[in-house]
Amino acid sequence: MVLALALYVYARAWAPDRDTYPVQGITISSDNGAVEWGTLAAQGADFAYIRAARGSDWRDPAFAANWRGARGAGMRYGALIEFTPCRLASEQATRFITTVPRDNAALPPVIRLAFDARCAARPARDLMLSELNTLVNLVESHAGKPVLLNVTEEFDKAYAIGSGINRTLWLDSNFFPPDYAAKPWVMWTASDMRHIDGVDGPVRWDVVAP
Protein backbone atom coordinates (compact mmCIF):
# COMPACT_ATOMS: atom_id res chain seq x y z
CA MET A 1 0.00 0.00 0.00
CA VAL A 2 2.80 2.43 0.89
CA LEU A 3 4.67 1.63 -2.33
CA ALA A 4 1.52 2.06 -4.42
CA LEU A 5 0.85 5.43 -2.81
CA ALA A 6 4.44 6.53 -3.42
CA LEU A 7 4.22 5.52 -7.09
CA TYR A 8 0.93 7.38 -7.47
CA VAL A 9 2.36 10.56 -5.95
CA TYR A 10 5.43 10.27 -8.18
CA ALA A 11 3.31 9.72 -11.32
CA ARG A 12 1.18 12.80 -10.55
CA ALA A 13 4.25 15.04 -10.54
CA TRP A 14 6.40 13.35 -13.17
CA ALA A 15 7.48 15.00 -16.42
CA PRO A 16 10.30 14.13 -18.83
CA ASP A 17 13.70 15.67 -18.15
CA ARG A 18 14.05 19.17 -19.58
CA ASP A 19 17.62 18.53 -20.65
CA THR A 20 16.36 15.85 -23.02
CA TYR A 21 13.04 17.45 -23.93
CA PRO A 22 13.37 21.23 -23.53
CA VAL A 23 9.97 22.10 -25.05
CA GLN A 24 7.00 20.81 -23.05
CA GLY A 25 3.32 21.69 -22.93
CA ILE A 26 -0.21 20.61 -22.20
CA THR A 27 -3.48 19.58 -23.82
CA ILE A 28 -6.45 21.53 -22.44
CA SER A 29 -10.22 21.09 -22.72
CA SER A 30 -13.36 21.98 -20.83
CA ASP A 31 -12.78 18.79 -18.81
CA ASN A 32 -10.04 20.71 -16.99
CA GLY A 33 -12.38 23.43 -15.70
CA ALA A 34 -11.34 27.06 -15.44
CA VAL A 35 -7.63 27.48 -16.24
CA GLU A 36 -5.32 29.94 -14.48
CA TRP A 37 -3.17 30.58 -17.52
CA GLY A 38 -0.50 32.67 -15.82
CA THR A 39 -0.01 29.98 -13.18
CA LEU A 40 0.08 27.29 -15.83
CA ALA A 41 2.77 29.11 -17.77
CA ALA A 42 4.78 29.52 -14.57
CA GLN A 43 4.59 25.74 -14.04
CA GLY A 44 6.62 25.16 -17.21
CA ALA A 45 4.00 24.84 -19.92
CA ASP A 46 5.59 26.29 -23.05
CA PHE A 47 2.54 25.67 -25.22
CA ALA A 48 -1.06 24.51 -25.04
CA TYR A 49 -3.14 22.53 -27.47
CA ILE A 50 -6.78 23.39 -26.88
CA ARG A 51 -9.65 21.12 -27.81
CA ALA A 52 -12.00 22.89 -30.19
CA ALA A 53 -14.48 20.19 -31.14
CA ARG A 54 -15.37 16.53 -31.23
CA GLY A 55 -16.76 15.23 -34.48
CA SER A 56 -19.29 17.48 -36.21
CA ASP A 57 -21.91 17.98 -33.53
CA TRP A 58 -20.01 19.12 -30.44
CA ARG A 59 -17.99 22.27 -29.79
CA ASP A 60 -15.89 22.51 -26.62
CA PRO A 61 -17.66 25.19 -24.55
CA ALA A 62 -14.37 26.41 -23.06
CA PHE A 63 -12.52 26.75 -26.36
CA ALA A 64 -12.88 30.50 -26.88
CA ALA A 65 -11.93 31.33 -23.27
CA ASN A 66 -8.96 28.96 -23.34
CA TRP A 67 -7.79 30.32 -26.71
CA ARG A 68 -7.81 33.87 -25.32
CA GLY A 69 -6.22 32.78 -22.06
CA ALA A 70 -3.27 30.97 -23.64
CA ARG A 71 -2.60 33.88 -25.97
CA GLY A 72 -2.86 36.37 -23.10
CA ALA A 73 -0.37 34.39 -21.02
CA GLY A 74 2.20 34.57 -23.82
CA MET A 75 2.11 30.82 -24.48
CA ARG A 76 2.18 29.17 -27.89
CA TYR A 77 -1.27 27.76 -28.65
CA GLY A 78 -3.00 25.54 -31.15
CA ALA A 79 -6.38 23.89 -31.76
CA LEU A 80 -7.33 20.21 -31.68
CA ILE A 81 -10.33 18.35 -33.08
CA GLU A 82 -11.24 14.81 -32.04
CA PHE A 83 -12.12 12.81 -35.15
CA THR A 84 -14.95 10.29 -35.21
CA PRO A 85 -15.70 7.77 -37.99
CA CYS A 86 -19.41 8.18 -37.16
CA ARG A 87 -19.62 11.56 -38.93
CA LEU A 88 -18.60 12.70 -42.39
CA ALA A 89 -15.18 14.30 -42.54
CA SER A 90 -16.59 17.31 -44.40
CA GLU A 91 -19.04 17.96 -41.57
CA GLN A 92 -16.28 17.66 -38.97
CA ALA A 93 -14.14 20.11 -40.92
CA THR A 94 -17.03 22.57 -40.95
CA ARG A 95 -17.26 22.31 -37.17
CA PHE A 96 -13.53 23.03 -36.84
CA ILE A 97 -13.60 25.92 -39.31
CA THR A 98 -16.57 27.57 -37.61
CA THR A 99 -14.99 27.17 -34.17
CA VAL A 100 -11.31 28.03 -34.67
CA PRO A 101 -10.42 31.51 -35.93
CA ARG A 102 -7.78 32.01 -38.59
CA ASP A 103 -4.64 32.95 -36.66
CA ASN A 104 -1.20 33.08 -38.22
CA ALA A 105 0.39 32.91 -34.77
CA ALA A 106 -1.28 29.61 -33.90
CA LEU A 107 0.55 26.29 -33.89
CA PRO A 108 -0.31 23.73 -36.57
CA PRO A 109 -3.77 22.23 -35.95
CA VAL A 110 -4.12 18.72 -34.54
CA ILE A 111 -6.50 15.92 -35.48
CA ARG A 112 -6.77 13.39 -32.66
CA LEU A 113 -7.40 9.81 -33.75
CA ALA A 114 -8.64 7.63 -30.92
CA PHE A 115 -11.47 5.13 -30.59
CA ASP A 116 -14.43 6.39 -28.57
CA ALA A 117 -17.17 4.36 -26.91
CA ARG A 118 -19.72 6.79 -28.39
CA CYS A 119 -18.90 5.52 -31.91
CA ALA A 120 -18.84 1.81 -32.75
CA ALA A 121 -18.14 2.29 -36.48
CA ARG A 122 -14.96 0.67 -37.79
CA PRO A 123 -14.88 1.34 -41.55
CA ALA A 124 -12.46 -0.39 -43.89
CA ARG A 125 -8.98 1.13 -44.05
CA ASP A 126 -9.40 2.59 -47.54
CA LEU A 127 -12.56 4.42 -46.51
CA MET A 128 -11.03 5.58 -43.26
CA LEU A 129 -7.95 6.99 -44.99
CA SER A 130 -10.12 8.68 -47.62
CA GLU A 131 -12.22 10.40 -44.97
CA LEU A 132 -9.16 11.41 -42.98
CA ASN A 133 -7.51 12.88 -46.06
CA THR A 134 -10.63 14.95 -46.68
CA LEU A 135 -10.54 16.26 -43.12
CA VAL A 136 -6.80 16.92 -43.30
CA ASN A 137 -7.12 18.90 -46.53
CA LEU A 138 -10.03 21.03 -45.35
CA VAL A 139 -8.49 21.82 -41.95
CA GLU A 140 -5.16 22.68 -43.57
CA SER A 141 -6.85 24.95 -46.07
CA HIS A 142 -8.43 26.87 -43.20
CA ALA A 143 -5.35 26.99 -40.98
CA GLY A 144 -2.81 27.61 -43.71
CA LYS A 145 -0.37 25.06 -42.31
CA PRO A 146 0.02 21.25 -42.17
CA VAL A 147 -1.80 19.30 -39.48
CA LEU A 148 -0.34 16.99 -36.86
CA LEU A 149 -2.00 13.61 -36.35
CA ASN A 150 -2.30 12.61 -32.69
CA VAL A 151 -2.76 8.84 -33.03
CA THR A 152 -3.29 6.38 -30.20
CA GLU A 153 -1.62 2.98 -30.40
CA GLU A 154 -4.96 1.18 -30.74
CA PHE A 155 -6.04 3.38 -33.64
CA ASP A 156 -2.70 3.06 -35.42
CA LYS A 157 -2.72 -0.71 -35.09
CA ALA A 158 -6.17 -0.82 -36.69
CA TYR A 159 -5.45 1.57 -39.57
CA ALA A 160 -1.65 1.97 -39.90
CA ILE A 161 -2.05 5.74 -40.01
CA GLY A 162 1.69 6.38 -39.97
CA SER A 163 2.12 4.63 -43.33
CA GLY A 164 -1.20 5.75 -44.80
CA ILE A 165 -1.12 9.54 -44.39
CA ASN A 166 2.05 11.56 -44.89
CA ARG A 167 1.79 13.91 -41.95
CA THR A 168 3.73 14.54 -38.74
CA LEU A 169 2.81 12.16 -35.92
CA TRP A 170 2.05 12.85 -32.28
CA LEU A 171 1.93 9.63 -30.25
CA ASP A 172 0.82 8.68 -26.72
CA SER A 173 2.64 6.58 -24.13
CA ASN A 174 2.81 7.10 -20.38
CA PHE A 175 6.37 7.52 -19.10
CA PHE A 176 8.18 5.74 -21.95
CA PRO A 177 8.72 7.12 -25.48
CA PRO A 178 6.36 5.41 -27.95
CA ASP A 179 7.51 3.26 -30.86
CA TYR A 180 4.28 1.90 -32.31
CA ALA A 181 3.99 3.92 -35.53
CA ALA A 182 5.60 3.38 -38.93
CA LYS A 183 7.70 6.52 -38.62
CA PRO A 184 9.23 8.60 -35.81
CA TRP A 185 7.08 10.89 -33.72
CA VAL A 186 7.55 14.64 -33.47
CA MET A 187 5.35 15.05 -30.38
CA TRP A 188 4.70 12.69 -27.50
CA THR A 189 2.06 12.71 -24.77
CA ALA A 190 4.38 11.56 -22.02
CA SER A 191 1.76 11.41 -19.28
CA ASP A 192 -2.01 11.64 -18.96
CA MET A 193 -1.74 11.54 -15.16
CA ARG A 194 0.04 14.79 -14.34
CA HIS A 195 -1.34 17.29 -11.82
CA ILE A 196 -0.01 20.86 -11.80
CA ASP A 197 -1.09 24.17 -10.35
CA GLY A 198 -3.40 26.33 -12.40
CA VAL A 199 -5.58 23.59 -13.89
CA ASP A 200 -7.77 20.73 -12.72
CA GLY A 201 -6.01 17.44 -13.29
CA PRO A 202 -5.12 14.98 -14.44
CA VAL A 203 -3.83 16.57 -17.64
CA ARG A 204 -2.13 15.34 -20.78
CA TRP A 205 1.48 16.53 -20.64
CA ASP A 206 3.19 16.72 -24.02
CA VAL A 207 6.77 17.11 -25.25
CA VAL A 208 8.38 17.98 -28.56
CA ALA A 209 11.07 15.71 -29.97
CA PRO A 210 14.53 17.25 -29.48
Q: Which structural domains are found in the chain, ordered by start?
A: 2-208 (3.20.20.80)
- The answer to whether the pTM exceeds 0.75 is yes
Segment 22-28 mean pLDDT: 98
Looking at residue 167, its pLDDT comes to 97
3-state class of 147 per DSSP?
Answer: coil
What's the pLDDT score for residue 4?
A: 61
- Confirm if 40 and 26 have CB atoms less than 8 A apart: yes
Looking from the CA of 157 toward its CB, the CA atoms found within 13 Å total 6
In whole angstroms, give the CA distance from residue 132 to residue 79. Answer: 17
Which of 3-12, 52-61, 129-138 is least confident?
3-12
pLDDT band at 127 (very low <50, low <70, confident <90, very high): very high
Segment among 1-5, 72-76, 83-87, 188-192 with least mean pLDDT: 1-5
Q: Give the burial string for 163-173 (b: 16+ CB within 10 Å, else e).
A: ebbebbbbbbb
Determine what percent of the chain is predicted with pLDDT higher than 90: 94
Residue 8 has pLDDT above 90, yes or no: no
- What's the pLDDT at 5? 58
Cis peptide leading into residue 202 (ω within 30°): yes
Predicted pLDDT at 99: 98
Q: What confidence score (pLDDT) does residue 151 get?
A: 98
pLDDT of residue 3: 59
The number of helix segments (H) and strand segments (E) in the chain equals: 7, 9
Q: At what angle do helices 125-143 and 89-99 cross, to 10 degrees?
A: 20
